[in-house]
Structure 1
């Protein structure tokens, strides 16, 4: 038998925030700071792992946790992009996937977990994360009607998030 086979879940945790004064929806032109990862309390890997553990136990019991607990690892989380890469053993990755999907809050803050990609290697997860970030920024630019060559704050945002993701190692 060779190396342990893993699956890598690329998850975006979209914060559910109530719009504050001065912010309007996307069609109104202004973007809320929460949409770009600037929530009130900054989430971290440890909080995500704890919430995920509780979700597995709640929905799949101790047997479910026994199946995924030893291999479950939050490999990467960026508060800037709200993107997370979770490693779990291949044989039981569907338990982790379902548990992520069933999460509704972490540390009292409501989130919508969006499983963007499931990969067989961390490199595939990294490439999917970079591509996802580019697509999100393209949507923001389209809403703002920004010309393609325009150097905006999103350019620096993309560069930083890409550097963070590429720095990951298995």
Structure 2
């Protein structure tokens, strides 16, 4: 009996546009001191669940590659993990057609918003949320994908802590007249170098 081979695509959903709000000033661009990765990496809309996301992925495969590839990928296509809080998911795909599904994810750029009838808070029919689906790792086992999710989560926590420490250092430098500015600059440079080293293996493809 031949075992069916799979690949696991770890992906992030990024939101390049700011969230909408009733206040006109809130829809403007984020302030300069706001980190880009915080602005793009935010929780997904509350209505986006596993079934809806999987349906959108299947629709993207059908639209871009036709019903033939949609039928080939359908039996093995499964969203094994999705977190709306972190906008992260793991998609199981057939190994032979992993690149087809990968391309379909890349071509997805919107998430529809369900319309609600009546009241000023109702969403107009056809309104959509702009998004980018970024595949960050292809693994041969789900365990490798889970390990990558944990590694990235730890890295984001460490990055946020460094940002807070650097902000505190800038405030302290301002209070003491900038006497330790050269220390802060060298620290930021070294941390930037370390972060670059950590990011070198993000595109690594595991073919276990």
> Given the two structures, how large is their TM-score scaled by the length of structure 1?
0.74
Task: Specify the alignment match of 1:151 in structure 2.
Answer: none
Taking a change above 3 Å as real, the CA distance of residues 16 and 127 of structure 1, as seen in their structure-2 partners, is same
Residues 11-26 of structure 1 mapped to structure 2, 5 A cutoff: 11-18=11-18, 21=26, 25=30
Counterpart CA distance in 2 for 1:30 and 1:56 is 33
1:114, CA displacement in angstroms? 1.1
Structure with higher Rg: it is 2
How far apart, in 1, do the equivalents of 2:146 and 2:45 lie? 27
Deviations 1:41-73 (A, max 9, x none): 342111111111111011100111011111111
Q: What residue in structure 1 maps to residue 75 of structure 2?
A: 70
Shift of 1:145: 2.8
Output the aligned Cα RMSD.
2.8
- Structure 1 stretches of at least 4 aligned residues deviating more than 6 Å after TM superposition: 30-34
More RCO (CA 8 Å, sep 6+): 1
**Residue 105 (structure 2) aligned to one of 67, 76, 100:** 100
Structure 1 segment 76-87 matched on structure 2, within 5 A: 76-87=81-92
Q: Give the counterpart of 1:128 among 103, 128, 148.
A: 148
Structure 2 segments unaligned to the other structure (5+ residues): 20-24, 113-127, 168-208
How many residue pairs align between the two structures?
147
Is 1:138 the counterpart of 2:158? The answer is: yes
When normalised by structure 2's length, the TM-score is: 0.61
Equivalent pair of 1:42/1:79 in contact (CA under 8 Å): no
1:158 counterpart residue number: none
